[in-house]
Homo-oligomer: A and B are copies of this chain.
Amino acid sequence: MPLPESSHYIPHLAYDSVVFGFSKGKLKILVMEYHDTGLFALPGGFVRKNENLDDAVKRGLFERTGLKEIYLEQVHLFGDINRFDPAIMKRILEANGYSVPENYWMLDRFFSIAYYALIDWEKVTLKPDTLSDSIGWYEIDQLPDLIFDHKEIVNKALLTLRENLDKKLIGGNLLPEKFTMNELQSVYEAILGQKIRRTSFQRKMLSLDILDRHEKLFTGKSHKAPYLYSFKST
């Protein structure tokens, strides 16, 4: 596969996505590792010249997760001069066997538009892109060192997610169709990074009138079985 051509993409503009998933009570994000470099980064990419910005992000996420319908929110455009380091980009490309021309476009200054995505962890089929040999889930507080300002991007995305937690119905995007109140509470706790009072949370969620109650979930444990809930479709 040849090096991507400048003529196909908008120069100086990249996107980086913070893909949140939830499993085993922990909030996690997707991180890629580039071939033979030990460098970790957020899944990102470039915008084609005839492509809407949002579509570019969706395309990148589809290629890596197999998901077509993804909940997306824009976070911030990072545009400091020093956020980008062409030496690192060159190292990544060369580690993949490319010989990089002197003024190759991917070594220029880059702005990055950050998005966060919320996905149901179970529905994902991970696939590394051509430059990387792994893509995987990392707990939010156990991330490896990330290139450029990607750590800052993660922090800003998490902050934005927290601010949106009450305004937008976020829980549903990180859980399967049906879930228990306890699971929903765990999602909120993982996002906020703190414990929530069980009874208050249940009362509030039920009073919002956004949940449908379904059959009970019998887990085999020796105690009362919890109800399953789903978010109302309308």
Contacts and interface: CB of A to CB of B under 8 A. Distances in A.
Interface in A71-97: 74, 76-81
A76 B52 CA distance: 14
A111 B76 contact: no
B54 A79 contact: yes
User: Number of contact residues on A: which range applies?
Assistant: 20 to 34
Interface in A88-125: 109, 111, 113
A7 B210 CA distance: 54
Interface in A202-223: none
A12 B53 CA distance: 12
A144 interface: no
A15 to B, nearest CB: 9
A51 interface: yes
Given A51-B81, A79-B113, 16 more contacts: A10-B12, A10-B109, A11-B11, A11-B12, A12-B12, A12-B13, A13-B111, A52-B79, A52-B80, A52-B81, A53-B78, A53-B80, A74-B77, A77-B77, A77-B113, A163-B167
